[in-house]
Structure 1
Amino acid sequence: MTAAETPLAGPPVLARRPGRGRLEAPSLVHLAADAVRQRILSGQLAPGDRLVEERLTDELGISRPPLREALRLLQQEGLIETRPRRGSVVTTLTDQDVYEILTLRSALERLGVELGVPVRDPERLEVCRRALRRMEECAEAEDRGALVRSAYDFHSSIVALAGHRRLDESYAAVQQQVMLCMARNLYTREHEYEDLPTHVARHRHLLEVIEAGDPDAVLAELAVHGERSFLKR
């Protein structure tokens, strides 16, 4: 198992406490969860890798209680599994897992396109463009973990074109599973898959079709896009 030599450091990002006006730093638990999540999505922790608590506490500079809470959060998200006598390991997606996540994602995105294209709110389209620009920046920096997150944000912005709150919430509910699928495609047996600039170029083309305003054309491109994104193993 490999892991980045990245301790929890840097200025905290302030978050607003629900129901109150005060700002507070995110908890150590959430910072630790973010750090481990990044390692999983970047491929530094591969499917099936065991998460050794002693090693992670040393690398992250934290004690075991917040780390264990962080691992519980990641288990709830479906990114890790806890197995008898093995402890926590990075989730390994089966072909059936990928099929289920893909078909659910595709159904939600199709509904977003059917309700949201042609785009009537220019700001919603600008959100798509910003997400694509972040993808381009991540590809240029060869930051694979950040690219997975930005690609999810791009697809989420397509769903958001519909202006449908419950649809947005349904898509967000499978966020981590979708990103794990994306990571699986980018980092597992990588030589069989497209390079990062090509990956971004496909998303750029999808956005161009959305901007043209023909929902049928977008749905056709989205179907091909999905087939290319989730290749058979």
Structure 2
Amino acid sequence: MESKVTLSKKVEIYLRNKILNGELLPNDKIVELDVAGEMGVSRGPVREALKTLTFEGLVEYQTNKGCSVTTLSPKDAYEVFFMRGSLEKIALERCGGKCSDEAVLKMEIALGQMKKACEDDSLTAIIAADEMFHRQIVDMGRMSRLTKMWQMLSPLNGAMFLTVKNSRKLGADVFDAPSANKYAVGHKNNYEAHKVILEVLKKGDLKDSCLCLDAHYLIVGEKIYRVNLEDEARKASICNYSAPPR
């Protein structure tokens, strides 16, 4: 008989994939009993899996309402992007922007995996490749506590990608708008974006590398914040709209 830990992990992967692949959309309810029936398990492993997904920012629990799919708030998304980018820039400053041959090799491997993931349109695989790619940057700082702080944000990576994906649908014009940052240009996919980052990192110019990370994290975070606030304001105006008297 499989252990409870193994079963909960299987349920966790099953639900995470359904959320990231768009089979479950924001605000969709997740009923423990239904998932247990689908997976052929008891409700215990489902409950444990939902706790993990709640921590990752993919699921929200509300008293008397249960669990539903959620996304990061505009403020939370901006904070995660800002913090992750800041930690990676600190790592670059620590090594003077000079990447080791080993780090470059691992980033090239991650880039190859990301290219295939983009071709397969697998968000789960894209996220895994992204994690491997950016881990090389933060490791170049050679500070264990810096790496641990970065790793604390890693569980939110899936929610970050989902938030970007949903935000692009809401405001493609905002994401494609010109920016003063020369690296803040619209990319066809995540592979193209990370290909540019690696090309810049290879040159070993600290200022340029930090500018490139700002485009990848800070500017994208600001655009997410703006797009979602505008969408919230639009929805509020519709809700508060009253037809003019005849």
TM-score by length of 2: 0.75
Are 2:16 and 1:37 equivalent residues in the alignment?
Answer: yes
Taking the aligned partners of 2:187 and 2:19, their CA distance within structure 1 comes to: 18
2:192 corresponds to which residue? Answer: 201
Which amino acid letter does the alignment assign opposite residue 98 of structure 2? Answer: P
Which amino acid letter does the alignment assign opposite residue 203 of structure 1? Answer: H
1:160 corresponds to which residue? Answer: 139
Among 20, 23, 29, which residue is 1:50 paired with?
Answer: 29
Q: Deviations over 1:50-84 (max 9, x none)?
A: 11223222322322111111112222333322101
- Which moved further from structure 2: 37-46 or 81-90? 37-46
1:104 corresponds to which residue? Answer: 83
Q: Deviations over 1:196-217 (max 9, x none)?
A: 8433111101101101111111
Are 2:228 and 1:221 equivalent residues in the alignment?
Answer: no
Q: Which runs of 5+ in 1 are unaligned?
A: 1-11, 13-23
1:4 corresponds to which residue? Answer: none
Taking the aligned partners of 1:41 and 1:203, their CA distance within structure 2 comes to: 20
- Which moved further from structure 2: 170-179 or 191-200? 191-200
* Change in CA separation of 1:203 and 1:189 when aligned onto 2, cut-off 3 Å: closer
Which amino acid letter does the alignment assign opposite residue 162 of structure 2? Answer: A
Taking the aligned partners of 2:168 and 2:196, their CA distance within structure 1 comes to: 25
Please, what is the CA RMSD of the aligned residues?
A: 2.6
Taking the aligned partners of 2:220 and 2:135, their CA distance within structure 1 comes to: 15
2:52 corresponds to which residue? Answer: 73
- Are the aligned partners of 2:82 and 2:218 in contact in 1 as well (CA < 8 Å)? no
Among 162, 166, 169, which residue is 1:190 paired with?
Answer: 169
Percent identity among equivalent residues? 27
Q: Deviations over 1:11-43 (max 9, x none)?
A: x9xxxxxxxxxxx99611112112212222333
- Are the aligned partners of 2:59 and 2:67 in contact in 1 as well (CA < 8 Å)? yes
- Which moved further from structure 2: 171-180 or 154-163? 154-163
Q: Measure how far apart 1:161 and its partner are.
A: 2.1
How many residue pairs get matched?
210
Report SS of the residue matched to 2:24: coil
2:244 corresponds to which residue? Answer: none
TM-score by length of 1: 0.79
Among 27, 31, 45, which residue is 2:6 paired with?
Answer: 27
* Change in CA separation of 1:43 and 1:210 when aligned onto 2, cut-off 3 Å: same
Q: Measure how far apart 1:48 and its partner are.
A: 2.2
Larger CA Rg, structure 1 vs 2: 2
Which structure dedicates a bigger proportion of its chain to helix?
2
1:90 corresponds to which residue? Answer: 69
Taking the aligned partners of 1:25 and 1:134, their CA distance within structure 2 comes to: 32
1:20 corresponds to which residue? Answer: none
Are 2:154 and 1:175 equivalent residues in the alignment?
Answer: yes
